[in-house]
Amino acid sequence: MPSPTELLSRRHLLATLCAASGIVSTPSIAQNRSRRTRNEPVAKSYYAERPDAMRFADDMAARRGLPADWVRDMIGQAVFLPNVPRLMLPPARGVAKNWRVYRSRFIDPVRIRAGARFWERNRSALARAQADFGVPPEIIVGIVGVETIYGQVMGNFRVIDALATLTFDFPPQHPRAQARQAFFQDELEQFLSLAQRIGMDPLNPLGSYAGAMGMPQFMPSSWVKYAIDYDGDGHIDLWNSEVDVIGSVANYFKGYGWQPGLRTHYPVRLSPEARMDTLLAPDILPSFSTDSFAANGALPMDGGLSHPGKFALIELQNGNPALPGNEPEYVAGTENFYVITRYNWSSYYAMAVIDLGQEVAATLSV
């Protein structure tokens, strides 16, 4: 029986011959609709037709000790998604960030109610994860809520299509194109290696346009490093097992240095003479001791003066600061705030996770 890659080649040859002969195949509209998914282009472009993709497949198979025919077949059946490279581009310059607008996308009644149900269903697993890894329930609940509304929106892109598109067709105009493309090349390798190891069909999983999977939206490398069988059924399932998701998210944070009992941030009071350029230069990386923070005009409040570690001044813009009421908000972020940004390199994301978890907790007797 011919492999799918051989079938693709035959279909391509047949289409060429038909076009040359004036023969046109016209499937019905209903047939076309039944064969398409929302994120697939009308005219599919398979990576089996790309010599660079096939060379990559051979090289990957040799380096990772995988069957070359299988790797070529899987990558060959990946489809180029033309909308995905556009989604990877950063927003246009001049667009003002707005924390209040960003927050409203994630802290809403739908997520809060869903988060409360998730928490109630999984009280014992959340308590166990806190005991095992030191990560509070509200942080785990916040992550899963922000990422997928507790599994309601996990993405409808085929993971292999997304990863192949970003491996072979990453937008060159991106300011960090080379590094980002290398990242997705590694993720494609990790994904196929994982699929081969656990017996998963790489053509089946759906995820985000960046290839993130399941309720916690783990990239393949994160799945390999941090996903765990926390419900004890003998396999890891981040799509359907909420207990596996809870344990895996907690394990992820522990792996990135989460410190049990440490707050994520403190209120901060800025003096009129605060050296804002100095304070904001490290961005979200905690770089100031309590003394140096204060010496530069930032005073952590609500017990922050006793914080033993370092701070970052976190700035949350609210649109054009020249307009009344649009002044930025500031907090003093700790090492644990920084750990949350290892999930998504954004202070706005981290604050949304924290706030959603706290809002859900406020609705429960925890």
Which of 294, 357, 298, 307 has the alpha carbon at shortest distance from 330? 298
Query: Among 138, 147, 242, 359, which one carries the catalytic annotation?
Result: 147
Phi-psi region of 174 (alpha: psi -120 to 50; beta: other; left: phi over 0): beta
* Beta bridge mates, 218: 213
Q: How far apart are CA 284 and CA 265, in angstroms?
A: 12
Residues present in the chain in total: 366
Query: For residues 249 and 132, is the Cβ–Cβ distance under 8 A?
Result: no
Distance CA 101, CA 95 (A): 13
Q: What's 335-358 look like in SS3?
A: HHHHHHCCCCCCHHHHHHHHHHHH
- Who contacts 191 (Cβ-Cβ below 8 Å, separation ≥6)? 159, 160, 163, 202, 211, 220
Which is it for strands 206-207 and 157-158: parallel, antiparallel or unpaired? Answer: antiparallel
CB 279 within 8 A of CB 288: yes
**Close Cβ partners of 215 (under 8 Å, ≥ 6 residues apart):** 144, 147, 148, 150, 151, 154, 238, 239, 242, 245
Is 359 noted as a catalytic residue in this protein?
A: no
Residue 237's CB is within 10 A of a number of other CB atoms, namely 16
Active-site positions read 147
